[in-house]
Amino acid sequence: MPAPALSVTDLALSIGGRQLVHPLTFSVGAGERVALLGASGSGKSLTAAAVAGSLPDGISASGSITFAAGSGRGHAALIRQDPATALNPLVPVGKQIAIPLRIAGLSRTEAVTEAGRLLARAGIGEPARILSRYTGQLSGGQLQRICIALALACGSSLLVADEPTTALDAVTQLKVLATLRAWGAEGRSLLFITHDLTAAASLCTRALVMEAGQIVEQAPMAEVLRTPQHPYTRRLVQAARASGQPLAAPTATAVAA
């Protein structure tokens, strides 16, 4: 069995002696798409930041986070709800995507061509036109997909996506979810942080559920939807069903597609 893309063991996070995240242990398999669900303030974003190595100042961490050996040039890439914060507003996005490609040894021309190809792979229409744009000239959904193209350019094998669809309209949400699905279908791993069970169920095959800084449930997504165990998970499933949106975990065939 291949080593997990990500193994988190007894990860605990605190600030000034106040425990924000209690010791957590979980893994994300190679090519697996895992949802990290939980209410606001349950510790999802801090966990995501710890995995991506970008904890805010003042937060202390203990425990271990390991990545599969040889799992790509950059281990984990993080995309957030506000993707503009990850990009430089003064540099055209194509140039920003070209930087890691140049570092990896591509010539200037090759890097620009590859940046366009990666934008297309991330679901951006008319990539040649988008390459020369600045972040201020692009929509939230486009910026999310540009961050995914950047993660592709960095050779990341694991994408940590922290509420990437929360601020988007329904149509754009579907486009970003499709890009994330394609990311996983190419054998890369995904940790999808959200409080939107409908989005998580459409994308992920396994779910971790957090409440008050602890993982209270972890199971295959289909099982979570069918027989949620923890009271918070039950409320989440009931609320999603009450909204009338279809709730179904991806099948093994859909994952391989």
Which residues are near ligand ATP by CB under 6 A? 15, 20, 38, 40-46, 56, 59, 195
Q: Measuring CA to CA, how many Å separate 222 from each of 91, 111, 156, 226?
A: 43, 41, 28, 6
CB of 40 or CB of 253, closer to ligand ATP: 40
Least Å distance between CB 256 and ligand ATP? 31
Report whether 191 contacts 160 (CB < 8 A): yes
CB contact at 8 A, 227 and 219:
no
Q: Which is nearer to ligand ATP, 56 or 246 (CB)?
A: 56
Query: Least Å distance between CB 194 and ligand ATP?
Result: 8
Tokens 């929509």 sit on residue:
139
Q: For the purposes of burial, counting CB atoms within 10 Å of the CB of 156, is it exposed (0-12), middle (13-18) or buried (19 or more)?
A: buried
Q: How far is the CB of 45 from ligand ATP (least distance, A)?
A: 3
Distance in angstroms (rounded) separating the CA atoms of residues 255 and 257: 5
CA 167, CA 204: separation in Å to the nearest integer?
A: 20
Q: Which is nearer to ligand ATP, 42 or 71 (CB)?
A: 42
Nearest residue to ligand ATP, by Cβ distance, number only: 45
Q: How far is the CB of 252 from ligand ATP (least distance, A)?
A: 30
Tell me if 208 sits within 8 A of 36, measured CB to CB.
yes
CB of 99 to ligand ATP, least distance (A): 28
Report d(CA 100, CA 154) in Å as an integer: 6
Closer by beta carbon to ligand ATP, 43 or else 94: 43
Burial state string for 171-199 with b = 16 or more CB within 10 A and e = fewer than 16: ebbebbbebbbebbeeebbbbbbbbbbbb
Q: What's the closest the beta carbon of residue 86 comes to ligand ATP, in angstroms?
A: 16
Residue with smaller CB distance to ligand ATP, 23 or 155: 23
* Nearest CA among 71, 80, 78, 105 for reference residue 2: 71
Query: By C-beta, is 22 or 241 nearer to ligand ATP?
Result: 22
